[in-house]
Amino acid sequence: MTRTVLAVDDSRTMRDMLRLALTEVGIKAHFAEDGVHGLEVLEGLEPDAIITDINMPRMDGFGFISAVRKRPEYRGVPILVLTTESAPELKQRAREAGATGWIVKPFDPAKLVRAIDMVAG
Protein backbone atom coordinates (compact mmCIF):
# COMPACT_ATOMS: atom_id res chain seq x y z
CA MET A 1 0.00 0.00 0.00
CA THR A 2 1.42 3.35 -1.04
CA ARG A 3 1.21 6.12 1.52
CA THR A 4 0.42 9.68 0.50
CA VAL A 5 1.89 12.63 2.39
CA LEU A 6 1.40 16.38 2.04
CA ALA A 7 4.46 18.38 3.12
CA VAL A 8 4.16 22.13 3.67
CA ASP A 9 7.38 24.16 3.99
CA ASP A 10 8.45 27.53 2.61
CA SER A 11 12.05 26.36 2.12
CA ARG A 12 12.72 24.85 -1.31
CA THR A 13 15.76 23.06 0.13
CA MET A 14 13.63 21.47 2.85
CA ARG A 15 10.96 20.43 0.31
CA ASP A 16 13.70 18.83 -1.81
CA MET A 17 15.09 16.98 1.24
CA LEU A 18 11.59 15.78 2.14
CA ARG A 19 10.93 14.72 -1.47
CA LEU A 20 14.09 12.62 -1.43
CA ALA A 21 13.40 11.09 2.00
CA LEU A 22 9.77 10.22 1.20
CA THR A 23 9.97 9.06 -2.42
CA GLU A 24 13.02 6.90 -1.61
CA VAL A 25 10.76 4.68 0.51
CA GLY A 26 7.83 4.74 -1.92
CA ILE A 27 5.73 7.45 -0.28
CA LYS A 28 3.78 9.57 -2.74
CA ALA A 29 4.59 13.14 -1.73
CA HIS A 30 2.74 16.37 -2.49
CA PHE A 31 4.24 19.74 -1.62
CA ALA A 32 3.14 23.26 -0.75
CA GLU A 33 5.06 26.46 -0.03
CA ASP A 34 2.95 27.80 2.87
CA GLY A 35 -0.34 27.25 4.69
CA VAL A 36 -2.49 28.95 2.04
CA HIS A 37 -0.91 26.86 -0.72
CA GLY A 38 -1.15 23.79 1.54
CA LEU A 39 -4.93 24.16 1.79
CA GLU A 40 -5.12 24.48 -2.01
CA VAL A 41 -3.02 21.34 -2.57
CA LEU A 42 -5.05 19.48 0.06
CA GLU A 43 -8.28 19.92 -1.96
CA GLY A 44 -9.23 16.49 -3.27
CA LEU A 45 -6.18 14.84 -1.70
CA GLU A 46 -6.54 11.99 0.79
CA PRO A 47 -3.21 12.08 2.62
CA ASP A 48 -2.20 9.45 5.15
CA ALA A 49 -0.24 12.17 6.97
CA ILE A 50 0.62 15.86 6.72
CA ILE A 51 3.99 17.41 7.56
CA THR A 52 4.13 21.16 8.18
CA ASP A 53 6.64 23.80 9.14
CA ILE A 54 5.62 26.50 11.64
CA ASN A 55 7.31 29.68 10.39
CA MET A 56 5.96 30.41 6.90
CA PRO A 57 4.63 33.46 5.04
CA ARG A 58 0.93 34.09 4.32
CA MET A 59 -0.30 31.40 6.76
CA ASP A 60 1.93 29.84 9.40
CA GLY A 61 1.81 26.24 10.57
CA PHE A 62 -0.54 26.95 13.48
CA GLY A 63 -3.09 28.57 11.15
CA PHE A 64 -2.68 25.74 8.65
CA ILE A 65 -3.20 23.03 11.29
CA SER A 66 -6.30 24.81 12.62
CA ALA A 67 -7.73 25.22 9.11
CA VAL A 68 -7.14 21.52 8.32
CA ARG A 69 -8.77 20.42 11.60
CA LYS A 70 -11.89 22.49 10.80
CA ARG A 71 -12.55 20.28 7.78
CA PRO A 72 -14.38 17.09 8.83
CA GLU A 73 -12.73 14.95 6.12
CA TYR A 74 -9.25 15.75 7.51
CA ARG A 75 -9.91 15.62 11.27
CA GLY A 76 -8.37 12.16 11.57
CA VAL A 77 -5.29 12.80 9.42
CA PRO A 78 -2.10 12.87 11.53
CA ILE A 79 -0.17 16.15 11.31
CA LEU A 80 3.54 16.20 12.11
CA VAL A 81 5.22 19.54 12.76
CA LEU A 82 8.73 19.71 11.25
CA THR A 83 10.49 22.85 12.44
CA THR A 84 13.67 24.37 13.84
CA GLU A 85 11.63 25.48 16.86
CA SER A 86 11.78 23.42 20.05
CA ALA A 87 10.19 25.63 22.72
CA PRO A 88 7.68 23.74 24.91
CA GLU A 89 5.08 26.52 24.58
CA LEU A 90 5.18 26.22 20.79
CA LYS A 91 4.77 22.45 21.02
CA GLN A 92 1.80 22.99 23.32
CA ARG A 93 0.28 25.54 20.92
CA ALA A 94 0.71 23.07 18.03
CA ARG A 95 -0.95 20.29 20.06
CA GLU A 96 -3.84 22.61 20.90
CA ALA A 97 -4.22 23.45 17.19
CA GLY A 98 -4.41 19.72 16.43
CA ALA A 99 -0.86 18.55 15.69
CA THR A 100 -0.10 14.88 16.27
CA GLY A 101 3.68 15.08 16.69
CA TRP A 102 6.76 17.29 16.56
CA ILE A 103 10.08 16.72 14.77
CA VAL A 104 12.98 19.17 15.04
CA LYS A 105 15.05 20.09 11.96
CA PRO A 106 17.46 18.98 10.75
CA PHE A 107 15.65 15.67 10.51
CA ASP A 108 16.91 12.13 10.12
CA PRO A 109 15.12 10.69 7.04
CA ALA A 110 14.74 7.22 8.59
CA LYS A 111 13.26 8.66 11.81
CA LEU A 112 10.87 10.84 9.81
CA VAL A 113 9.61 7.81 7.86
CA ARG A 114 9.26 5.82 11.13
CA ALA A 115 7.24 8.70 12.62
CA ILE A 116 4.95 8.72 9.56
CA ASP A 117 4.55 4.94 9.82
CA MET A 118 3.69 5.26 13.52
CA VAL A 119 1.05 7.97 13.16
CA ALA A 120 -0.42 6.83 9.85
CA GLY A 121 -1.07 3.34 11.16
pLDDT at position 121:
75
The domain that holds 31 is classified in CATH as 3.40.50.2300
Say how many domains are in the chain: 1
Q: Phi and psi (nearest 5°) for 46?
A: -120, 75
What is the domain range of residue 57? 4-120
User: pLDDT of 9-37, one tens digit each?
Assistant: 999 999 999 999 999 999 999 999 999 99
**Is the distance from CB of 45 to CB of 6 less than 8 angstroms?**
yes
**Distance set, CA 27 to CA 37, 56, 58, 62, 116 (Å):** 21, 24, 27, 25, 10
Provide the greatest CA pair distance for the chain.
37
Q: Which conformational region is residue 91 in: left (phi greater than 0), alpha (psi within -120 to 50 degrees), or beta?
A: alpha
**Is the distance from CB of 49 to CB of 78 less than 8 angstroms?**
yes
pLDDT at position 85:
84
User: pLDDT of 72-104, one tens digit each?
Assistant: 999 999 999 999 988 999 999 999 999 999 999
User: pLDDT of 50-68, one tens digit each?
Assistant: 999 999 999 999 999 999 9
Judged against a pLDDT cut of 80, whether residue 1 lies above it is answered with no
pLDDT at position 115:
93
